[in-house]
Amino acid sequence: NTMEQLAEVSAHIRTKKIRQLMIDGVQFIHPSTVHIDFDVEIGVGSVIYPNVTLLGKTKIGDRVVLESGAFVKNSIVYNDVEILANSYLEEALVHEEATIGPMARLRPGADIGPESKIGNYVEVKKSKLAKGVKVSHLSYVGDAEIGENTNVGCGFITCNYDGVNKHKTKIGSNTFIGSDVQMVAPIEVGNDAFVAAGSTITKSIPDGGFGKI
């Protein structure tokens, strides 16, 4: 009937949950430091480091690594994914063999394709990234679609908000986006295109095109 009693009961439920997961084949490096809701699911062979928080209807696949400080809420993480230290996921979808972080943020609607990489200080919101996409450093991807094996350089920004409405950015497959590029949505960049570093792109680029401003 008190906050102290609530904390005691919650701790008991968490301990019971973690014990069952360990019996089922999940490794916890320091179980007492992990906060996990009762409905969270974790697959066999996954490794949970200290100070991880798993909330809501989160589902973690097999052989997933969650490093210290990872915060995952109402998200689905498929097999063989790495969530590196201090990354924050909310209502996100991460497909097989992707790597997230360290210190990345996936906001609601982030859909990260297989074998993709979301690096340090990268924020993704309401965007679908296909297989093998790399956004490795200091970037914001919002309201976007990015095709397979496209590489996005450091300091990339989708300028998706005009002060009133949100607009979409579409980038094709096998495209190279240089560092410090801003794309003013709505805009489309085709397959096999190249955008030079330091450019502000306000017009669409066709397949195989070159963009520089």
The answer to whether the CB of 114 falls within 8 A of the CB of 148 is: no
- The answer to whether the predicted template modeling score (pTM) of the entire model surpasses 0.85 is yes
Structure tokens at 186: 């709505």
14-73 per-position pLDDT tens digit: 999 999 999 999 999 999 999 999 999 999 999 999 999 999 999 999 999 999 999 999
Average confidence (pLDDT) over 110-119: 98
Pairing of strands 182-184, 105-106: unpaired
The H-assigned helical ranges of the chain are 3-23
Collapse the DSSP code of 33 into the 3-class scheme (helix H, G, I; strand E, B; otherwise coil) and give the result.
helix
Alpha carbon of residue 169 to chain centroid = 18
Q: What is the mean pLDDT of residues 193-203?
A: 97
Contact residues for 212 (Cβ-Cβ < 8 A; gap 6+): 195, 196, 199
Using 50, 70 and 90 to split pLDDT, how confident is the model at 164?
very high
pLDDT at 172: 98
Mean pLDDT of the chain: 97
**Residue 85 — pLDDT band, cuts 50, 70, 90?**
very high
Q: How confident is the model at residue 213 (pLDDT cuts 50, 70, 90)?
A: confident
76-81 LR contacts (CB < 8 Å, sep 24+)? 78/114, 79/43
Q: Which residue has the tokens 């859909």?
A: 111
| Catalytically annotated residue among 35, 95, 137, 167 | 137
Compute the distance between CA of residue 59 and CA of residue 62 in angstroms, rounded to an integer. Answer: 10
Residue 137 falls in the annotated catalytic set: yes
